[in-house]
Amino acid sequence: MAAESEAKRRTAAAERSGAGSGPGGRWSILLATATGPDARATAMTIRDDIARRVPALRDAFVSPTQRGYVVLSGRFPSPEDPAAQKRLDEVKAVVDRGTPLFPRAMLTRTSANAELGPPGPNDLRIVRQTVPARDLFTVQVAAWSTFGSPDITMDQVRRSAEDHCRQLRSQGNEAYYFHDLDAEISTVTVGVFGNDAYDPRSTLFSPEVDEVMRRFPKHLVNGEEVLVPTDPKDPSKGGTPQAPRLVEVPRS
């Protein structure tokens, strides 16, 4: 049991390493990639092997991507950073029996979403922990974003989405929030549905999805109703409230 606990501790540490660098440190050196159903386990094995064989790369950590997992080293504010270039040269110079170990090492922009940590109880990511492979959908009823403005922070965006999610939950709705730090947007959704949520032939939603959309006819943006112009060429004709939308539950 002690060995198992230590293994779990090492795994968590390797995946957290470098995660506290903040917005200014989202460039790292790509050492290796792993894809497929066992991508995470493969990446962790590669990371452990690198740390064992190359003590200077003990800071290597594992991060998820849309296609699998990557093994990275270091955190830098930009690819032009002198420290980044120096470290890249050092990594490319690592050899084993005369053969370079990382000939294709490169600086790559990492996802800020790796900094989110484990999902909370109402985080949409928990859905994939129980049903990882199926096509799953949910109805997006609200979204918050910085829209690139310095007047609102991503912390405020996240807090607003989570507060709205809790409010919907208190009213008996199966609500979830989802944060995308890369896009600087947080969404709130209601319900989880299978691949029968929408019929592309009839262009009809399932009765369950229709029911959610009737209860939430207006998609809120930063807490406010958004009007879609009836005639984009003539704004004076007014508009209709932006409707909720059926979206896929993220796979990573």
Closest CA relative to residue 187, chosen from 205, 203, 168: 168
Average pLDDT, the chain: 86
Pairing state between β 224-225 and 204-205: unpaired
pLDDT tens track for 115-140:
677 888 899 999 988 877 688 999 99
pLDDT value at residue 11: 41
pLDDT value at residue 115: 66
pLDDT value at residue 235: 75
pLDDT-based confidence at residue 77 (cuts at 50, 70, 90): confident
Of 147-151, 210-214, 220-224, the one with minimum mean pLDDT is: 147-151
Strands (E), 104-235: 106-109, 137-145, 175-180, 185-193, 198-199, 204-205, 220-221, 224-225, 227-229
Cα Rg of the chain, angstroms: 22
pLDDT value at residue 229: 82
| Residue of higher predicted confidence among 177 and 181 | 177
pLDDT over 90 at 32, yes or no: yes
Pairing state between β 224-225 and 220-221: antiparallel
Beta bridge partners of 189: 140, 176
| Residue of higher predicted confidence among 9 and 79 | 79
**Cβ neighbours, 10 Å, residue 198:** 14
pLDDT value at residue 114: 64
What CA–CA distances, in Å, run from 150 to 38, 116, 156, 224? 41, 21, 12, 19
Distance, CA of 189 to CA of 130 (rounded, Å): 18
**Cβ neighbours, 10 Å, residue 194:** 12
pLDDT over 60 at 160, yes or no: yes
pLDDT-based confidence at residue 31 (cuts at 50, 70, 90): very high
Beta bridge partners of 28: 108
pLDDT tens track for 94-113:
998 899 999 999 999 877 76
**Average pLDDT rounded to a whole number, residues 156-175:** 97
pLDDT value at residue 129: 82
**Do the Cβ atoms of 190 and 172 come closer than 8 Å?**
no
**Average pLDDT rounded to a whole number, residues 59-81:** 88
**Average pLDDT rounded to a whole number, residues 18-33:** 66
Distance, CA of 14 to CA of 52 (rounded, Å): 13
- Tell me which DSSP letter residue 85 carries: H
